[in-house]
Structure 1
Amino acid sequence: MADHVYGTQSDAYAAEHDLHHRSIGKERKFSLTGKHLGEDGGRASADDLLEAMGYKSELVRSRSTLQVAFMSFVLASIPYGLATTFYYPLVGGGPTNIIWGWVAVSLIILCVAASLGEITSVYPTSGGVYYQTFMLSAPSYRRIVSWICGWAFVVGNITITLAVNFGTTLFLTACINVFESEPGVGIFAGETYQVYLIFFGLTILCNLVSALANRWLPILDTFAIFWTFAGLIAIVVCVLAIAKNGRHDASYVFGEFDPSNSGWPAGWSFCVGLLHAAYATSSTGMIISMCEEVQQPATQVPKAMVGTIVLNTIAGLVFLIPLVFVMPDQATLAALASGQPVPVIIKDAIGSSGGAIGLLIPLLVLAVFCGIGCTTAASRCTWAFARDGAIPGSRWWKTVNVKLDVPLNAMMLSMVVQLVLGLIYFGSTAAFNAFSGVGVICLTMSYACPIAVSLLNGRRHIRDGNFHLGKLGIFCNCVALAWSLLAIPLFCMPTAIPVTPQYMNYASVVFFAFFVISTAWYFIWGKKNYRGPPVQEDEILEARRASITSHHSGK
């Protein structure tokens, strides 16, 4: 197995290791023909391709196609992901923003998933979009572009995980308060320190499960699928059948648009409300970080990404449409101090606190599953970036705990960063707005990098991939990049105006700070020490061709 070239090595030492990678790749070509893959041909082929990329296989490939698709579904966690951010389209425009905003963003994200799927079928590694950007870029600028993409991907993974756990905390508080001490007053005060402590405990729980129960996570993801649809059916049937305070007509559900609660002009208000759908679908590319734990990542991961978007779109509509049919007055929901309308909507439709909490429990359990999944993915991308020497102290963060079969140190680093950033809540109750906004912005930016570079280079690197879409791929690339150009400035905007310091969207501040720090760190340290992933394009091509041959011969 080839060791990896790390950024802290000298030029001579790095060159020696690069030569070592190439010689090993040439020596192993005899085993890449598909004739010597043995009974476990798919897994051996994936490991050979990984080694051709310059990495040794350190994680167990335990996930099948369905299991990686299930994890991708859990990362988005529809309907939970739509429940915690329901406030954004509610204020942005109401029913039209909620329903049609979800459909529009889902179709756009389908193009993003297809674009990433094409590239991942050629470069399936836990480095994900960062590695892909490096390999697709010209040598003259590949280091700085991949550096910025990698930091965006890592920061996006960590902050979206933070947003999930913090959103779960706020959602839990709102669920508890469906029980009232008096009309309009919940039983749980939800003081700042109480909210942070719940978030702290939830984050620790997700990390414990992800670290100690890694071998059972595919089973947990599978269970989450059945749990999700059982809970979804219960919510839909109960709210529509009981509808204690009546139902709106179809013209209201599919045509009502009222942006007055946001203060923004109508068109811009609708766009700002799209954060709801963008947040729920932002995890699309996070599953790429699991490539080194998937049996045939070049084919399984692209299929999982695209298939999950289609499934999520349908599940989202099944969840959102019934809620809008029974939704109380829009202005009343927009004025909620909790910023969590879904528990209030369900309670209003059911007519009792006990019945409401019974329907909310499936969403809360799904929220924990989502937190565990995001914790797992964030730890893998942090580990992969550290493996290439891009994170200070890489020799600690690149270590894999063999007993647990997880990059435990990288997971702990991610956890500590989340807990520290969570302290922002003590300064602003709009912290969740910043966390979710930064997560979406950074992930969107990181997804755009390999897509843009591939398109600018004529998509020549992906023509022989397992998931090549031809002219349709060009269309998907253009849509994905247009969305990125809109989303990055859009989600820096506050939800409503006029803006107060308390309700300011600090995503712009955090994103700008990340961009300045990562760029400055590159010129201070990275330009001299960071070399990026090992470059073995001939070996990768040979291994990929063998993988394709093995895949087709196994059919």
Structure 2
Amino acid sequence: MADPTNLSDDERRLAELGYKQELSRNWSGFSNFAISFSIISILAGCFTTFGQAWNNGGPVAISWGWPIISIFILIIGFTMSELVSAYPTSGGIYWWAAKMGGARAGFYTGWLNLIGLLAVTASVAYGCATFVDLMLSTFSESWADGYSLGRVYLIFVALLAIAAVLNIFSGHLMAILNNISVWWHVAGAAFIILILVLVPDQHQSLDFVFTERLNNSGYADAKYWFLVLPLGFLLTQYTITGFDASAHLSEETEAASEGAAKGIWRSIAYSAIGGWIILLSFLFAVQDADGVTAGGGAVDVIFSQALPQGWHGTVLLISAAGQFFCTVACLTSASRMTFAFSRDGAIPGSRLWSKVSSSKVPANAVVFVAVIGALITLPALKGVGGIPVAFYAVTSVAVIGLYLSFAIPIWLRWRMGDDFEPGSWTLGRKYRWMNLVAVIEIAIISIYFIMPFTPAAIPGHEDFSWENVNYAPILTIGTLILLTIWWYASARNWFTGPKHTIDEAVVEAFDD
């Protein structure tokens, strides 16, 4: 039987929650912040989903939409910081839900979170593959002439494989890579901003950046404010996500009740500021707005307009490298969630996915996440005009899955009121309004992001095409239906929520 007197403070708290220390606890508070900052990655989301905001709202959706939505996301982050401080476990989101709402709440939350993490890993890796292809095309005409969605998909699979190998090698290596990633994102973003400020011969006016509206969605202009513009907010909501990684890595973080809590809200705040500045630099660098629209709203069109080939390629290189760091971090976070959820028997094949290697890494879970990511992105092999519409569907799935999983424990904490026992980092009485605002914002964006992005995605429309369909509602609503059937037909009989992996006598000793 484990001796409670020989445990560190972190191990003692983990034991109080029912778990023995299986993973290597060698992440600093900075490393914990670094993984969430790397997954948010302003060098990824700001680049890969720029077109969504450009086509659905235009500069207004970016210059005003980004800071406004960022404030709401920061409120969500504050509520989650309080929760991770109280319950610093790798299960994170689903563990909180099970603790406060019972096994069923934990079951639904865990699956929504896992689906979101699988989707965000896939979407980031695919975005990285796209920018690697763009970078190579910038330096090689023959490579550019051979473009195909199939080639991008192969690059995507190769990047997933490399990220998986790095993750399997060592958990400590991941901490080091994420520390490097922070500085790459800071220095890289600053360098890109300087390039876009100094190199172009001319820049757009303040009036264009802060008042120009665009509607390239196909919907009527009368629907701009209540449908088109909100669809453009996917840029912000998708980019600033994945910060629950700080919770999933809490069992590997020193002084986790403080470090993981600060990791969540700081990663959001710093990314929001940096992301806004870099997005403004994109807008000011636009040389021909009609040309950007003709290019599908892709940010690379702005670079090709404003920069000579050498500087253009440099920007793409910096972004692609940042996106690869993001891919590696996403895979780390998703594998830890898979490990924790499997540890409690919730995933078919749990014994396999919860197994830890000699390096104290859930290697099988890493492979599981990489393979699933490759499979769910297969629809991106099809596209319209060379643009994989399925990519935006995967980002929607990521946003909806992750944020719905956040909403459940946030709501449960609000419902507990003063019965909730906070950790060392707490909101105090501010939880009363912050938790409600967080849940309402999540409910609203979840409704918008399952809507068709264009009328051509609506069955029965004269321009309907399956390539345009946003399959996010099929995956999310379909998954919820399947989970409900599974829960009532089987899971409720065997899933009891988080299981203790430490001697029961030790847990009882802490409870006494």
Give a deviation string over 1:1-42, Cα, whole Å, max 9, x none. Answer: 67xxxxxxxxxxxxxxxxxxxxxxxx84xx3xxxx76xxxxx
* Counterpart residue number, 1:512: 477
Deviations 1:410-469 (A, max 9, x none): 11111221122122223553221121110110000000010011112225213x421211
Match of 1:222 among 160, 179, 197: 179
Report the alpha carbon displacement of residue 260 of structure 1 after superposing the two structures with TM: 4.7
Residue 105 of structure 1: CA displacement? Answer: 1.6
Q: 1:394, CA displacement in angstroms?
A: 1.0
5+ long unaligned stretches in structure 1: 3-26, 38-43, 546-555
- d(CA) in 1 for partners of 2:229, 2:140: 33
Matching of residues 149-168 of structure 1 within 5 Å: 149-168=109-128
Query: How far is 1:542 from its partner?
Result: 8.9
Aligned partner (choices 516, 527, 530) of residue 492 of structure 2: 527
Does the C-alpha gap of structure 1 residues 132 and 540 become closer, same or farther in structure 2, counting only changes over 3 Å?
farther
Q: CA, structure 1 residues 187+472, in 2 after alignment: closer, same or farther (shift >3 Å)?
A: same
Runs of at least 4 residues off by over 6 Å: 535-542
Task: Provide, for residues 297-325 of structure 1, a one-character-per-residue CA deviation record: whole Å limited to 9, x for no partner.
Answer: 11111111111111111111221111101
- Residue 485 of structure 1 aligns with which residue? 443
The amino acid across from 2:440 in the alignment is A
User: After superposition, what is the alpha-carbon deviation per residue over 1:133-160, rounded to whole angstroms, capped at 9, x for unaligned?
Assistant: 01111xxxx2212111000011111111
Which region of structure 1 is more displaced relative to structure 2, 497-506 or 90-99? 497-506
Alignment of 1:330 onto 2:295: no
Q: Which residue of 2 aligns with 1:367?
A: 323
The more displaced of 518-527 and 475-484 is: 518-527
Residues 477 and 448 of structure 1: CA distance in aligned 2, closer, same or farther (over 3 Å): same
* Aligned match of 1:448: 407
Check whether the contact 1:259–1:266 (CA below 8 A) recurs between aligned residues: yes
Q: Which deviates the most, 448-457 or 191-200? A: 191-200
Q: TM-score, normalised by structure 1?
A: 0.85
Within 2, Cα distance between the matches of 1:63 and 1:423?
A: 35
Deviations 1:375-419 (A, max 9, x none): 000000001000001111111111111x22210111111122112
How far did residue 281 of structure 1 move? 0.9
Paired amino acid for 1:504: V
CA contact (8 A) 1:454 1:460 kept: no
Q: Residue type matched to 2:120 in 1? A: I
Asked whether the equivalents of residues 279 and 436 of structure 1 are also in contact (C-alpha less than 8 Å), the reply is yes
The answer on 1:460 being equivalent to 2:415 is: no
- In structure 1, C-alpha distance between the alignment counterparts of 2:506 and 2:97, rounded to whole Å: 18
Distance (Å, rounded) in 2 between the aligned partners of 1:392 and 1:80 = 32
Letter in 2 for 1:475: W
Superposition deviation, residue 524 in structure 1: 2.7
- More off after superposition, 388-397 vs 515-524: 515-524
1:73–1:541: structure 2 CA closer, same or farther, 3 Å change rule? farther
Are residue 73 (structure 1) and residue 37 (structure 2) matched? yes
Contact 2:98 2:106 survives alignment (8 Å): yes
Aligned partner of 1:424 in structure 2 is 379
Aligned equivalents of 1:404 and 1:476: distance in 2?
40
1:304-343 equivalence runs, <5 A: 304-336=263-295, 339=296, 341-343=298-300
- Residue 109 of structure 1 is matched in structure 2 by 73
Matching residue's letter, 1:157: L
Ranges in structure 2 where 5+ consecutive residues have no aligned partner: 458-464
Residue 154 of structure 2 aligns to a residue in which SS? helix
State whether residues 197 and 281 of structure 2, in contact with CA within 8 Å, keep that contact through their aligned partners in structure 1.
yes
- Give the corresponding residue for 2:152: 195
Instruction: Return 367-376 or 216-225, whichever deviates more.
Output: 216-225
Asked if structure 2 preserves the Cα contact closer than 8 Å seen for 1:121 and 1:302, the reply is yes
State the one-letter code of the partner of 2:215. P
Q: Distance in 2 between matches of 1:64 and 1:158?
A: 25
Alignment of 1:346-357 (within 5 A): 346-350=303-307, 352-357=308-313
Q: Is the 8 A contact 1:85 1:340 kept in 2?
A: no
Residue in 1 that maps onto 2:60: 96
Counterpart in the other structure of 1:248: 204
State the alpha-carbon separation in 2 of the partners of residues 152 and 281 from structure 1.
18
Amino acid of the structure 2 residue aligned with 1:97: A
Which of the numbers 103, 118, 132 marks the counterpart of 1:143?
A: 103
Q: Does 1:127 align with 2:91?
A: yes
1:386 corresponds to:
342
State the shift of 1:473 in Å. 2.1
Shift of 1:341: 1.8
- Superposed CA offset, 1:37-94 (max 9, x none): 6xxxxxx111111112111110111111111111111111113221111011101111
Instruction: Decide whether the 8 Å contact of 1:176 with 1:188 is kept in 2.
Output: no
Shift of 1:357: 0.2
Range with bigger deviation, 323-332 or 352-361: 323-332
Contact persistence 2:27–2:172 (CA under 8 A): no
* SS class of match (1:190): coil
Counterpart-to-counterpart distance in 2, 1:533 and 1:544: 17
SS of 2:286 mapped into structure 1: coil
- Checking the alignment, whether the CA contact within 8 Å between 1:173 and 1:188 is kept in structure 2 is no
* RMSD after superposition: 2.4
1:407 aligns with: 362
Distance (Å, rounded) in 1 between the aligned partners of 2:406 and 2:67:
20
Would the alpha carbon gap of residues 355 and 52 (structure 1) be closer, same or farther in structure 2, given more than 3 Å must change? same
8 Å contact 2:63–2:210 — kept in the other structure?
yes
**Residue 430 of structure 2 is aligned to residue 475 of structure 1:** no
Matched residues in 2 for 1:534 and 1:480: separation? 29
Name the TM-score, length of structure 2 as normaliser. 0.91
2: CA distance, partners of 1:538 / 1:459: 29
Partner residue, 2:229: 270
1:296 maps to what in 2? 255
1:494 aligns to what? 452
Query: Given the alignment of the two structures, is residue 173 of structure 1 paired with residue 128 of structure 2, yes or no?
Result: no
* Contact 1:178/1:343 (8 A) holds in 2: no
Q: Supply the AA of the counterpart residue of 1:156.
A: G
User: Which amino acid in 1 is paired with 2:339?
Assistant: W
Q: For residues 461-487 of structure 1, give each alpha carbon's deviation from its aligned partner in whole angstroms, at most 9, with x where no partner exists.
A: 13x421211232222211110111111
Pick one of 438, 451, 456 that aligns with 2:397. Answer: 438
Encode CA deviations 1:93-113: one digit per residue, 9 max, x unaligned: 111101211101211111111
Q: 1:273 to 1:518 in 2, by over 3 A?
A: same
- Check conservation: 2:132, 2:316, Cα contact below 8 A: no
1:481 partner amino acid = V
Looking at structure 2, the residues matched to 343 and 542 of structure 1 have their Cα atoms a distance apart, in angstroms, of 60
Q: Secondary structure at the match of 1:187?
A: helix
Residue 540 of structure 1: how far off its partner (Å): 7.8
Report SS of the residue matched to 1:104. Answer: helix
CA change 1:477–1:539 in 2 (3 A) is farther
